[in-house]
Structure 1
Amino acid sequence: MPGSRGTGTVTRSTLRQQIADALRDEVLAGRLQPGQEFTVKEIAEQYGVSATPVREALVELSAQGLLEADQHRGFRVREYSAADFRSMVEARSLMAEGMFRAMADGRGKYRDPREAQAAAALAGVRRRGEEAQRAAAAGDLTVLVGYDLRFWRELSLLFGNPYLADFLHRLRLQSWVCAVQHLRRLPDLRGLLWSGHTRFVDALSAGDLDTARALHAEHDAHFLSLVERLAAR
């Protein structure tokens, strides 16, 4: 369970977000295991806060698909199967196609990748991708998840409407929750994690949408194959 933290003088909304963020990190890091149960009271005691912001945080995480609520036993970390992961990847792929269409139509901030605004935005995303690649090469799953989520989130905000970006982010978050439940079984992840982030950005910067589409498909196929192999063990 997460350790205690000082809350200081913060609003209930800020406290709720802090608790939600901390618990989300615990799930993604594998420290809160699939199926693990806990109550609002237990989390409130761990953090030394009242039950209200904790309950709000747990409800938020349940809405995001990380937890499941049980009216008799509190909350538990949601367990995902390889079949769930396949469905997430398929849904994510369909949504991502909307992003590619927006690029092709010159919508959003992307438009012409050679324009200064688009080029600067893509450069920022590329830096996120570089960090993700370093983490993947090192087999550091915790660091990779954080940078990977930021990479795709910032990228999707450039190429389409914010509702699509929000939905894609939620799918990616759920995908990682599912993936880490399987990937954490391996003692060494070096060389096993997809690290084509900068190649993807470079293809976009060059206006090469065919290569970008192929890399996105490669990314999905790589993780799907890996998770399904681990789930079958």
Structure 2
Amino acid sequence: MDPVADAMVGLPDLGGQSSLRGQVADALRKALATGTLRSGVVYSAPTLADEFGISPTPVREAMIDLVRDGLFEAVRNRGFRVVRPSARDLAELTEIRELVEVPAVVRLAGAVPEAVRPRLRALAEEALAAAREGDPVGFLDADHRFHSELLGLTGNRTLVRTVLDLRGRSQMHGLARPAATETLAASAEEHLALLDALVAGDAEKARELMTRHLDHVRGDQR
């Protein structure tokens, strides 16, 4: 029988998104990434709600959303089991991201407005600092905002939603382990190199960097 968590697990604080359901889903994603919520363990919405200090309803709704993303599976009368994406799942998701995200970013070569460059660079540096400090939650926050704002420059809202959904489905696990710090730092450094390539109008370099960047999704789960 799968282990069931019935005590405090050390969940991250809820953020400032508009909906409580969204805040909970974001916090749970971070807890999965850091290994706070462990693969194969069943967690109940009421138990996690007690830790968040909120009612079970938004927690249950958020966990159902994450079931759709393949990060949890419902266990009848018990709660939700953490599911670790398989190597095949990650390979398929990464392939789709390469088909969609890489060309979208490459099209921005030479087209990143000067006004937004400082903001993107600040986010890239924030992600790098968090990675070097061994702060996976801080890294994930900055990484998400960097990619969201960069893709937003395409002006294609559907593309942004699609890519962010794929990023959520390819959620990495265990980023708090010591071996992950080097990988996070390498990924964060690529943000800066990618931005430099885009500003310089070097489309081929941007393609190479973005493809390598996505390879971390496969490699971090091996």
Fold-level match, TM-score > 0.5? yes
Cα 1:156–1:199 shift into 2, 3 Å = same
Specify the code of the residue in structure 2 equivalent to 1:201. L
Report deviation, 1:5: 11
Specify the code of the residue in structure 1 equivalent to 2:212. E
Cα 1:71–1:190 shift into 2, 3 Å = closer
Report deviation, 1:33: 0.7
From 85, 93, 99, the equivalent of 2:98 is: 93
Match in the other structure for 1:212: 206
Cα 1:50–1:140 shift into 2, 3 Å = closer
Structure 2 length-normalised TM = 0.78
- C-alpha RMSD of the superposition: 3.0
Report deviation, 1:93: 0.7
From 28, 36, 44, the equivalent of 2:33 is: 28
3-state secondary structure, aligned to 2:60: helix
Rounded to whole Å, the distance in 2 between the matches of 1:49 and 1:137 is 33
Report deviation, 1:3: 5.7
Q: Deviations over 1:7-27 (max 9, x none)?
A: 9xxxxx843333333323222
Q: Deviations over 1:65-95 (max 9, x none)?
A: 3322233432122211222222221111111
Q: Deviations over 1:151-193 (max 9, x none)?
A: 1111111124111111111222332x3x324x55x43444333
Q: Deviations over 1:187-225 (max 9, x none)?
A: 344433322111101111111111100111222235534
List aligned pairs for 1:35-184, cutoff 5 A.
35-100=40-105, 102-103=107-108, 112-113=111-112, 118-175=113-170, 177=171, 179-181=172-174, 183-184=175-176
Contact 2:11 2:31 in 1 (8 A): no
The percent identity for this pair of structures is 36
Contact 2:194 2:209 in 1 (8 A): yes
Rounded to whole Å, the distance in 2 between the matches of 1:4 and 1:97 is 33
3-state secondary structure, aligned to 1:191: helix
Aligned positions, number:
209
3-state secondary structure, aligned to 1:103: coil
Match in the other structure for 1:224: 218
3-state secondary structure, aligned to 1:128: helix
Cα 1:216–1:112 shift into 2, 3 Å = closer
Cα 1:22–1:164 shift into 2, 3 Å = same
Contact 2:125 2:192 in 1 (8 A): yes
Contact 2:45 2:79 in 1 (8 A): yes
Rounded to whole Å, the distance in 1 between the matches of 2:66 and 2:220 is 26
Report deviation, 1:4: 9.1
Cα 1:211–1:34 shift into 2, 3 Å = same
